[in-house]
């Protein structure tokens, strides 16, 4: 420091002392950055406890990856133009998961459900994993274009449904969704303190409201049996 710098430092300190950090709020920064942040939130496996529980186990590699759709009739059909994922979105997924060996097969994408606030796709990976992509998740004013995705082993009788939840922020209702085996007719869970049962249509269930409580998700089969899935 030269002769005047100590004086400058001390006088500026008097002018405006270092404030305390009580206002710091990283979650608020994330909310302000919401749109692009959400689009870049890709993970090979979506980190919600429900999804992690629903997509556990080791995947079986199947030729062309389409075995990932075993038991999911809504995804077992030829691809149509409506099934194709926006190339920009696909590029973002691949960029965000670079180095993870995700290996999505774009030609395998099947749009399994259009919702008011989202489009749900089933997508296979080169190593036979099932990925569930929710694109065009709209915010409260219908303007943002966020997305979320989870990947894991193909569904089984013990793991008959995927599950994921997306919320714009703590005050907005969550969108929860999943893809199930053909044999599943409904899922139930606790949300906001209430028991909720959601019917499955064309292998997909979706619910908008309070996020499901971790550990309460149950699949209901055609034969009346149930299976806890997370």
Partner 1 sequence: MAANGPLTGELEDLYRGRYRYFLRLATVIVGDETSGHDAVQDGFAQALREQQSFRGEGPLEAWVWRTVVNAALASRRRRVARREAPEAAGNANANGQAGESAVRTWVAALPERQRLVVYLRYYADLDYRSIADALGVEVGTVSATLSSAHQALRRSMKEVEQ
Using CB under 8 A, list all residues that contact partner 1: 2-5, 7-9, 11-12, 14-21, 23-26, 28-30, 32-33, 35-38, 40-43, 47-48, 96, 148, 166-167
Residue 179 beta carbon to partner 1: minimum distance, rounded to whole angstroms: 20
Cβ 174 vs Cβ 146: under 8 Å: no
Report in angstroms the alpha-carbon separations of 72 from 26, 91, 102, 227.
40, 26, 21, 17
State in angstroms the smallest separation of the CB of 60 from partner 1: 28
Comparison of 33 and 61: residue with beta carbon closer to partner 1: 33
Give the residue from 223, 196, 222, 226 showing the smallest Cα distance to 209.
196
Q: Which ranges of 85-153 would DSSP assign to H, the alpha helix?
A: 87-96
Helix or strand holding residue 110 (H, E)? strand 110-115
d(CA 28, CA 32): 6
CB of 99 to partner 1, least distance (A): 11
Nearer to partner 1, 21 or 81 (CB): 21
C-alpha dihedral (70, 73, 107, 198), degrees to nearest 10:
-100
Q: Taking a C-beta distance cutoff of 8 angstroms, is the pair 37, 165 a contact?
A: no
Q: Of 47 and 64, which has the nearer Cβ to partner 1?
A: 47
Residue nearer to partner 1 on the CB measure, 28 or 86: 28
Q: Whose Cβ is closer to partner 1: residue 12's or residue 64's?
A: 12
Calpha distance 228→164 (Å, rounded): 15
Min CB(42)–partner 1 separation in Å: 6
> Closer CB to partner 1, residue 39 or residue 110?
39
C-beta of 4 vs 63, nearer to partner 1: 4
User: CB of 78: closest distance to partner 1 in angstroms?
Assistant: 33
What the block records as the tokens of 124 is 């296979």
CB of 165 to partner 1, least distance (A): 9
Taking the complex as a whole, how short is the minimal distance between the CB of residue 8 and partner 1, in angstroms?
Answer: 6
**Residues with Cβ within 8 Å of residue 183, at least 6 apart in sequence:** 71, 157, 160, 221, 222, 223
Measured from the Cβ of residue 43, the count of other Cβ atoms closer than 10 Å reads 16
């Amino acid at each position: 420091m030269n002769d005047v710098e100590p004086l400058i430092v001390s006088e500026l300190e008097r002018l405006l002392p270092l404030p305390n950090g009580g206002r710091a709020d990283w979650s608020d920064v994330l909310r302000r950055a919401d749109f692009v942040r959400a689009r870049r939130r890709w993970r090979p496996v979506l980190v919600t406890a429900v999804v992690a529980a629903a997509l556990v186990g080791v995947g079986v590699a199947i030729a062309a990856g389409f075995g990932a759709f075993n038991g999911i009739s809504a995804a077992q059909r030829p691809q149509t133009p409506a099934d194709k994922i926006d190339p920009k979105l696909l590029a973002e997924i691949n960029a965000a998961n670079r180095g993870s060996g995700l290996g999505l097969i774009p030609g395998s994408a099947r749009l399994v459900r259009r919702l008011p606030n989202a489009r749900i796709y089933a997508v296979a990976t080169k190593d036979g994993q099932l990925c569930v992509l929710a694109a065009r998740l709209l915010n409260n004013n219908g303007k943002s274009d966020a997305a979320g995705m989870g990947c894991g082993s193909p569904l089984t009788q013990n793991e008959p449904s995927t599950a994921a939840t997306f919320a714009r922020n703590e005050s907005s209702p969550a969108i929860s969704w999943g893809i199930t085996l053909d044999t599943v007719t409904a899922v139930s869970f606790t949300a906001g303190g209430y028991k909720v049962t959601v019917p499955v249509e064309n292998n997909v269930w979706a619910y908008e409201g309070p996020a499901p409580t971790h550990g309460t998700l149950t699949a209901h089969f055609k034969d009346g049996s149930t299976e806890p899935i997370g």
